[in-house]
Each structure stands twice: as structure tokens, then as C-alpha cells.
A = this chain, B = another copy of it.
Amino acid sequence: MKNARDNIFNNISAIIPEELFESLVERETLKIERIVSYGHNTPIGEWYDQSLDEWVLLLQGEAILAYEGGTKVKLQVGDYVLIPAHTRHRVEWTQPEAKTLWLAIHFVPS
């Protein structure tokens, strides 16, 4: 619907047994996604290894990203990071007592 407005902080399920991924915009070369975590993390030993670049902005909560090789990056509200394609990473930790909200933009690397 043209001109429609929505709010990124609204319509979050009360119960989130698993991390929640929702596409807000999806095109051939791009995906804009909202992710809700609630104490979730990526199982130890598992890595995201994506074919697209990903730009992530933390909108609410707190999280720690871990990269293969040992680097860890703590993210607080407003922090953003670019994760190039095939940069193996995992979500090490998200705040257990509150929902963590991410905006993720996935796009074709160039």
C-alpha cells in the first residue's frame, strides 16, 4: 500500500520460542529484514556463511557478534556493522531479559 507507515517496534510477538526473521522488503538484489532475538544465540560451532553482504543495525537490546578467528563485537542501541559476504560469524549472545531488535539489510556484494 503506497504511503503506508508502519513502526519497527510494533507487532512483536509476546512469545518468541525461536529467533524471529521477518522480511520488510524483498527484491532480487536486496532484502530488508527485522530480526527479534530474546536471549537467543547461534549454537556453538555453527556459523553464518552468507552469499550476500549484510549491514546490521541494532535498534533495541544488546548483542555480541563473534567472528571466526576470535573477534567479538558488542552491539548496543544504534551500533551498526557491515558483515561482508562469506565472513563467518555467529550471534554469541543476546540480552536474556529483554527483546533485542535488529535491522538487517542483505545485498549483492560488488
Residues of A whose CB lies within 8 Å of any CB of B are 2-10, 24-25, 27-30, 32, 53, 55, 57, 59, 67, 71, 73-82, 84, 87, 103, 105, 107-110
Contact = CB atoms under 8 A, between A and B. Distances in A.
A80 B2 contact: no
A81 B3 contact: yes
Q: How many copies does the complex hold?
A: 2
Contacts of A8: 57, 78-80
A49 to B, nearest CB: 15
A59 B103 CA distance: 12
Contacts of A74: 5
A52 to B, nearest CB: 11
